[in-house]
Amino acid sequence: MTIRVFIQSGRLLPGPPQPGDLPAERVFIHASEVPEFWVETDSEAVPELGRVVTFALSRPLDVGFERIVGTVERKLNKSSR
């Protein structure tokens, strides 16, 4: 099952994955009047609301960051397709 994790106070960081990082399958930044930032993961180890979470890209990409850090704002369970 895929979980969409909405991130509050998120930061995109360079550097290799660290122990405890969850795999980030997809990263979304919606830069609108009401900005949203979320990560989708297949990991079931996502912490509860208000807790800090760290993700690492599941595959290396040349996008200027490899890790995502922030606070869990809300979670949405999605069915796998």
Convert the pLDDT of each residue in 9-61 to its tens digit.
Answer: 999 999 999 999 999 999 999 988 888 999 999 999 999 999 999 999 999 88
Residue 81 has pLDDT above 70, yes or no: no
What whole-number distance in Å separates Cα of residue 74 and Cα of residue 81? 22
How many CB atoms are closer than 10 A to CB 64?
8
Coil, helix or strand for 31? Answer: coil
Residue showing tokens 């660290």: 18
Residue 80 has pLDDT above 70, yes or no: no
Q: What angle do CA 46, 13, 81 make, to 5 degrees?
A: 45
Cα radius of gyration (the chain): 12
Please give the pLDDT value at position 1.
86
Please give the pLDDT value at position 78.
86
